[in-house]
Structure formats: C-alpha cells, structure tokens
Chain A
Amino acid sequence: MRAAAVGIMGLGYEGLADCQPKFLNHLLNSVARGVVENSDYQTPKSAWLKILGDMSIADMQKRSLIPSNIPLTTPTAGYPSLDIEKMTLKEELEAVFDKFKMMLGRGTFVASINLYENDRSCEGLNLVDNYLEKMRSVLDSFIFFSPYGGQDGAVKSRYGIYLSTLQRPFEDQTIKLEQIMPLVLNLGRF
C-alpha cells in the first residue's frame, strides 16, 4: 500500500478560488472533501502538536508512519529534516518529494509543507499543486489537508482543506485536528 498524508500550512479553499490550481480543483470535484476547522492552533508547530497528540516522532515510526519535515524542532523532524528558515518553498517541496520517492511503499508518508504560508502567491500554490499531483500519481491512498487556512489581513482563517481517498466520518461536520491522526493511521489499511 502506497499511502501519504501531507499537511500544507495556511492553505484554505479561498486559495483554490483565487488561483484555480488545476490539480487541487480536480480533486475537489473527484475525491472525498471536507473542511478542517481550527482557530486555536495556527502555527505549524502548535498545529502538529495538536494533530499528533501523545504520539512522538519515534512513536510514529513504530506505527509504520514515516515522518517528513514535521516542524516540531529546528531543523524539522523526520525524513528529510530541513532547516526551513534558510529555504524557499520550492526547495522545501523538492526535498520532501525526493524523500517521498525514496520511502515509497515503506509505510504511510506523513509530511508537512511549512513554507507555503510565507509565500501565498498563486505561483506558490501552483508549485504545491504540481508536487501534490506528482505524489498522487504514485499513491493508492492519500490525505491532503491544512490545519488552518490563509491569512486575510491580521487574521488567519480557521478553515483548512481536506481532500482524500478516505471518506471521513460525520460528513456534515468539520474535521478537528485531533481527528486527523486516526484517519492517517487508517490510510495504510485501505
């Protein structure tokens, strides 16, 4: 089973409306979709701490998850471990994608893309879109999500995306951060 969960910090559906990224818009109309809701954990580190709950990076590996670029530490944790403060979004995406290709099939790849929210241009979103499309082309199952949306003025949106091969429970409710990891653990089983 080739499975991956990728969290893109700061990507909301408003980005899809503004920039019309081809692949993500295709997914919006073709796979299970939902809305992540979170107003309390709106930095990459706090969001991942909430998503992981009691699970450490070592625990992830014990459960056949492959952590990638998780922003709990500096440099980030997992494969690759990156000093993202010195990188561009494109460099971050390339580094994560390279490891993704190497680790394919060894477990559920769980990655964080942290620099999109620093570069919320349509060019930035198109880059993310291209890499997600490349990943999807070799995956059996995936979750592409955002723990929170884009920033408008001084406020970040509480709504992030959820696009997946995995139907979520309770379709008429938003997805909370603590519900994401159980879904990720299920990814490798289908």
Chain B
Amino acid sequence: MQVEMECLSEDQVREFIENSEKAVIDFWAPWCAPCHVLHRIVQGVIPMFPEVKFGRVDTQKYPGAADQFSVYGLPTLIIFSNGEPVDRIVGVVPREFLLSKLRSLVDG
C-alpha cells in the first residue's frame, strides 16, 4: 500500500512548513491528470526520506494557498529547508530526477 501524504488546508500549510526542518509540498487539483501521475511518483519515494515531511494542497479547494506560494502551473512541488523555499519542480518529472532533488535537500 502506498504512503498517504498529509492533506493541508490554506491555514495549515505555513505551520506545516515552519514546523519541518525539511518539507515538500505538492500543489495539485483533482482535475489535473499529470498531478495524479506525479503524486504516485512522490508517494513511491517518501519511505526513502524519513527526515523529510511531505504534504499536499488541493489548489481547487484552497486557491489562496497557490497564490501565497506563487503557484502558476500544476502540478508544482515546492521544496523547503528551514521554512524557506529552496527549489521548485513544475510538471511531471522522472522518479530519478525527483530523487536527485531530494538527495540534494537531505545532503545540503
């Protein structure tokens, strides 16, 4: 069974990031087909990075969260370190690419 990511509201997302040394937020919407593909890829790598917290924000439900983080395309992954965004991935990417980004986050 795949690991489920914490679903965050507009109010919860900032607190989630600030309370996590390293975090990844997946901005998505139910109607967005590539979002479902990327979500599955992210789910598959979560167990390899126990030191990183992963959350999801449904931008259809919480459009203010997309505005807050300047998300203009879906899917978008934003990678945070100590509460600050350090990288951003827009669109579906191969698993290996995502792994390299997360290794940089953890090693950096």
Contact = CB atoms under 8 A, between A and B. Distances in A.
A13 B39 CA distance: 9
B31 A34 contact: yes
A125 B34 CA distance: 18
Contacts of B31: 34-35, 171-174
Interface in B13-62: 29-34, 36-41, 44, 60
A26 to B, nearest CB: 13
Nearest to B60: A172
Contacts of A13: 33, 36-37, 40
Say whether chain A's binding surface is mostly helix, strand, loop, or mixed. mixed
Contacts of B39: 14
22 contacts: A12-B36, A13-B33, A13-B37, A14-B2, A14-B37, A14-B39, A14-B40, A17-B37, A17-B40, A18-B40, A28-B34, A33-B33, A34-B31, A35-B31, A35-B36, A37-B30, A152-B1, A153-B1, A159-B36, A172-B31, A173-B31, A174-B30
- A-B pairs with lowest CB-CB distance, top 4: A13-B36, A17-B40, A14-B40, A33-B33
Contact of A35 (B2, B32, B38): B32
Contact of A14 (B29, B30, B36, B60): B36
Contacts of B36: 12-14, 17, 35, 159
A172 B40 contact: no
Given A13-B33, A33-B34, A34-B31, 7 more contacts: A13-B36, A14-B40, A17-B36, A17-B41, A28-B34, A33-B33, A152-B2
Contacts of B29: 172
A159 B41 CA distance: 16
Interface in B75-96: none
A13 to B, nearest CB: 4
